[in-house]
């Protein structure tokens, strides 16, 4: 049995685990990001958590490597972070080098969507599939691409940015500064915004009982089976997701598309219109036998993906 140390650096939480090559988490520690004011303070917290989980797993001298999932773009060849939209101080930070020096373990780092994609391909919903398209649909929308069982990173380590695919020309403003990106019309906050705008325009809905500022995509999805407005908004989000996925399917011809992230918990109100849109927009030859599935690893997807990266590095 091989085991590795896995780190997940997210916008709201830090997670560290010891994971074996069967995908079993032997020990795990999770901590809120809290008042972290620098990359160094986050790394200090991670290393403290790592010392705890390694001790509990009893494998201090038998770890094969370390993997780090980072919630932002990464320069993979250099092992540095590019930036982080949730935490300060990560511009050009030499994360791989620091973790490697502090742990004494061969270390690999990548962004969280790439890590989750490999995690789902190795241990989750896409296990055994060589060609995988992964989307995380949550506060934002990210993506990862697996080709022949390996992460496809592209020329600048930026492959998989499906959230910034143009699906609604002249649509809402996206966080990237452009209009009509998939993220601007189908991420969780975008679904909630569409519901608020419809309610403000006077449309009738059971959602009107919820204070506008508290309305979430989860509530919209829960109302969709019995509420016409909520159903229409989820249909629209599914249509946009399906349109973007269809384009990626035509390009990549994956075995499976896996949808992770909080919004994937919406179930059929999201997956039904999404699958129908992919069927309409994708070329039949590229989508034959295609499966579109919810993620199988839940909130551990990035952590287990970091482990999968470290295991792959250790056996390469």
**Which residues are CB-contacts of 44 (< 8 A; sequence separation ≥ 6)?**
none
Q: In this structure, what token pair is assigned to residue 302?
A: 């990035």
Nearest to 31 by CA among 130, 40, 17: 17
- What is the CB neighbour count within 10 angstroms for residue 149? 14
Residue 36: pLDDT band (50, 70, 90) is low
Nearest to 167 by CA among 274, 265, 283, 260: 274
In angstroms, the CA 95 to CA 68 distance is 9
Q: In this structure, what token pair is assigned to residue 31?
A: 């901590």
- DSSP per-residue codes, 240-308: HHHHHHHHHHHHH--SEEEEESGGGGG-HHHHHHHHHHHHHHS-HHHHTT-EEEE-SSGGGHHHHHHHH
Average pLDDT, the chain: 95
Number of Cα atoms under 13 Å in the Cβ half of residue 290: 26
* Architecture category of domain 3-120+299-315 in CATH: 2-Layer Sandwich (3.30)
Residue 37 has pLDDT above 80, yes or no: no
The percentage of residues in the chain with a pLDDT greater than 70, rounded to a whole number, is 99
Average pLDDT over residues 126-137: 97
* Same fold yes or no, 3-120+299-315 and 129-296: yes
Q: What is the pLDDT of residues 134-192, one digit of tens each?
A: 999 999 999 999 999 999 999 999 999 999 999 999 999 998 899 999 999 999 999 99
In angstroms, the CA 228 to CA 44 distance is 50
Average pLDDT over residues 201-210: 97
For position 61, what pLDDT does the model report? 85
Residue 316 has pLDDT above 80, yes or no: no
Domain edges within the chain: 3-120+299-315, 129-296
For position 221, what pLDDT does the model report? 97
Nearest to 258 by CA among 155, 157, 114, 108: 114
Residue 129 has pLDDT above 80, yes or no: yes
For position 10, what pLDDT does the model report? 87
Residue 206 has pLDDT above 90, yes or no: yes
For position 5, what pLDDT does the model report? 98
Residue 212 has pLDDT above 90, yes or no: yes
In angstroms, the CA 217 to CA 269 distance is 11
Average pLDDT over residues 227-239: 98
Higher pLDDT, 1 or 2: 2
In angstroms, the CA 84 to CA 98 distance is 17
Average pLDDT over residues 113-119: 97
Average pLDDT over residues 116-143: 96
For position 35, what pLDDT does the model report? 67
CATH top-level class for 129-296? Answer: alpha beta
Q: In this structure, what token pair is assigned to residue 1?
A: 């049995």
The percentage of residues in the chain with a pLDDT greater than 90, rounded to a whole number, is 89
């Amino acid at each position: 049995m091989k085991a590795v140390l896995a780190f997940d650096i997210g916008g709201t939480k830090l997670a560290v685990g010891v994971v074996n090559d069967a995908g079993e988490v032997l020990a795990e520690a999770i901590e809120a990001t809290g008042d972290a004011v620098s990359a160094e303070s986050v790394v200090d917290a991670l290393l403290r958590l790592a010392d705890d989980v390694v001790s509990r797993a009893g494998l201090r001298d038998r770890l094969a490597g370390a993997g780090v999932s980072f919630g932002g773009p990464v320069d993979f060849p250099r092992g540095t972070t590019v930036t982080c939209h949730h935490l300060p101080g990560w511009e050009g930070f030499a994360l791989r080098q620091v973790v490697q020096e502090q742990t004494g373990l061969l270390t690999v780092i990548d962004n969280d969507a790439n890590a989750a994609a490999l995690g789902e391909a190795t241990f989750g919903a896409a296990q055994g599939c060589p060609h995988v398209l992964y989307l995380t649909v949550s506060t934002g929308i990210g993506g990862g691409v697996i080709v022949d069982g390996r992460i496809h990173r592209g020329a600048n380590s930026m492959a998989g940015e499906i959230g910034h695919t143009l699906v609604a020309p002249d649509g809402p403003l996206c966080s990237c500064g452009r209009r009509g990106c998939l993220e601007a019309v189908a991420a969780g906050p975008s679904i909630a915004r569409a519901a608020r705008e419809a309610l403000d325009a006077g449309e009738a809905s059971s959602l009107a009982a919820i204070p506008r500022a508290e309305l979430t995509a989860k509530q919209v999805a829960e109302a969709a089976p019995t509420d016409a407005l909520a159903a229409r908004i989820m249909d629209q989000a599914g249509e946009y997701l399906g349109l973007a996925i269809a384009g990626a399917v035509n390009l990549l011809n994956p075995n499976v598309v896996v949808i992770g992230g909080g919004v994937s918990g919406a179930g059929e109100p999201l997956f039904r219109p999404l699958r129908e849109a992919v069927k309409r927009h994708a070329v039949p030859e590229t989508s034959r036998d295609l499966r579109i599935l919810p993620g199988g690893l839940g909130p551990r997807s990035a952590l287990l993906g970091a482990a999968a990266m470290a295991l792959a590095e250790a056996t390469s």
